[in-house]
Amino acid sequence: MSAPARPPRPRQPSRPRWGLRIASGAAALVLLAGGVGHLLVTELESGIHRVDAFGGLDDRPMDSDRGVNILVVGTDGRDKITRAQKRRYRLGGAPCHCTDTIMLVHLSADRDRASVVSLPRDSYARIPAYTTASGRVRPAHHQKLNAAYAEGGPSLTVRTVEHMTRVHIDHYLEVDFTSFMKTVDVVGGVTVCTTRPLKDPYTGLNLPAGTHALDGGQALQYVRSRHLDGAADLGRIRRQQRFLAAVIHQVTGSGTLLNPVKFGRVAATLFGSVRADRGFGAADMVALGQAMRGFTVESSEFVSVPVQLPGTPVKGLGSTLRWDRVRAARLFQALREDRPLAVHRRKRLRATPVDVPPAQVRVRVFNGTSTTGLARRTLRALRTHGFATTGAPADAASSAVRRTLIEYDPIWNRSVRTLAAALPGSRLKPVARQGSVMRVTLGSDFRSVHPVRAEDPSADKGAGKAVSGAEVACL
């Protein structure tokens, strides 16, 4: 069978382009917004490794002027990693030469919003027919999505994603393990927070609950870990989204964009360690950077493609994730039409993520001040925020309590952290055998109930709900 004739490479539009990836790409997004000058970016461009991501593509979705779409992939390349790094970060296995992370990033036409859509690597995908390097035509077949890169590199990956989403991809950006770690280190590390301990024996990740500043190697462990809970790859995607939001917050709030020396150092590391398509030019970077001044973490939004759970086992492939066709179609239609995916509430008080849902926390409130009706109003507010209130509000033994007190049975030590997050600044007092109901005595320091939200990766149910960057960043 003779190889089919390849159509000429489509002409790329001349509008501004950009690039983005979990630390490296996020840095690109905000660094370009610095607009420090054509000369610097032109010099940096020479360090970018070019790939032919669009050659020979056919049956492509229609292009439009409604924003710019970038396919961002993270590969498991580890050729430049030292022996010490391989031991420390558990990177000694043989690479599969496939995509470890796949994201479709949409930058709105008015340059004030970035929508990041994670494509699970285990997605059940139809790889289009293609011609191999030896000239043999391989017919269309089913595989996991991350296998497209192993079979045909960047161009087959782009082609597969375009066929699955019907979204026209304008640019391609690729980052491996080494470039990821270097970029995180040069921006000064990234801060993440977790409501529960994270420990993965496969990657070596070991983070207690709380806030942590991660260097490049630790950050790689964080975004690679998938053996932490029942959510597996979907849970890992959510952590990658949190990390990406944290990078945007770090770079926009650290003064990097206003410091030419710092900017040059970060940009040199970034653009000297990625692979990008040939149309990702210096002039486009500068034009786009000028248009994106003022970009912040609130300007971003994140979502994973809706999937059907549990995964579907396929002979020869293992467990696969099949997309929810109806909801996935709506998602990609929104991208094509340049519509927001999440509800952005910039002025609304940001909820604190907690481990135990407030509905599982039983509370009774007492008024330790001379303010009439304070316990009743607080009880109502706690109920509004989802807590399981019990008993009628009452006055405490003293009306001169200065600091709000939470008394709880020590066996409910995880649940009390949820209540403490809703009543910040409260003093915690363990009381043996108190039972499941926590006792709150309001003091004169009390002002209001702070919103909280449960963080449960296993409860995603493949819904693919979009969230704004402000909701997932550790601010």
DSSP 123: B
- H-helix or E-strand containing 56? none
Residue 222: φ, ψ to 5°: -60, -45
Q: Encode pLDDT of 14-73 as tens digits.
A: 333 333 344 454 445 444 444 444 445 555 566 677 888 998 888 899 887 788 898 988
More confident residue, 355 or 159: 159
Q: pLDDT class for 434, splitting at 50, 70, 90?
A: very high
Tokens of 316: 């020869």
SS3 readout for 335-394: HHCCCCCCCCCCCCCCCEEECCCHHHCEEEEEECCCCCCHHHHHHHHHHHCCCEECCCCE
What pLDDT, on the 0 to 100 scale, is given for residue 187? 77
Cβ proximity of 383 and 407 under 8 Å: no
Specify whether the CB–CB gap between 417 and 354 falls below 8 A: yes
What residues does each domain of the chain span?
A: 24-341, 359-454
The secondary structure of residue 76, as a DSSP letter, is: -
* Cβ-Cβ contacts under 8 Å for 256 (sequence gap 6 or more): 30, 31, 34, 187, 262, 263, 266
Predicted local distance difference test score (pLDDT) of residue 389 = 92
When pLDDT is averaged across residues 414-423 and rounded to a whole number, the result is 93
State the helix-helix crossing angle for 38-45 and 282-291, rounded to 10 degrees. 130
Distance of alpha carbon 233 from alpha carbon 101, whole angstroms: 10
Q: Decide which of 393 and 194 is more confident.
A: 393
Q: So what CATH class is 359-454?
A: alpha beta
Quote the pLDDT of residue 125.
95
To the nearest 10°, report the CA torsion of 107, 332, 234, 223: -20
As a whole number of angstroms, the distance between CA 107 and CA 66 comes to 9
Per residue in 132-176, pLDDT tens? 888 899 999 999 998 999 899 999 999 999 999 999 999 888 877
pLDDT in the model for residue 473 = 61
Instruction: Determine the pLDDT at residue 3.
Output: 43
Please report which confidence band the pLDDT of residue 459 belongs to, taking 50, 70 and 90 as the band edges: very low
81/34: higher pLDDT: 81
Is residue 292 within 8 A of residue 286, CB to CB? The reply is no
pLDDT at res. 229: 65
> Domain 24-341 belongs to what architecture?
3-Layer(aba) Sandwich (3.40)
Q: Report the chain's mean pLDDT, rounded to a whole number.
A: 78
Question: If DSSP codes are grouped into helix, strand and coil, which group holds residue 438?
Answer: strand
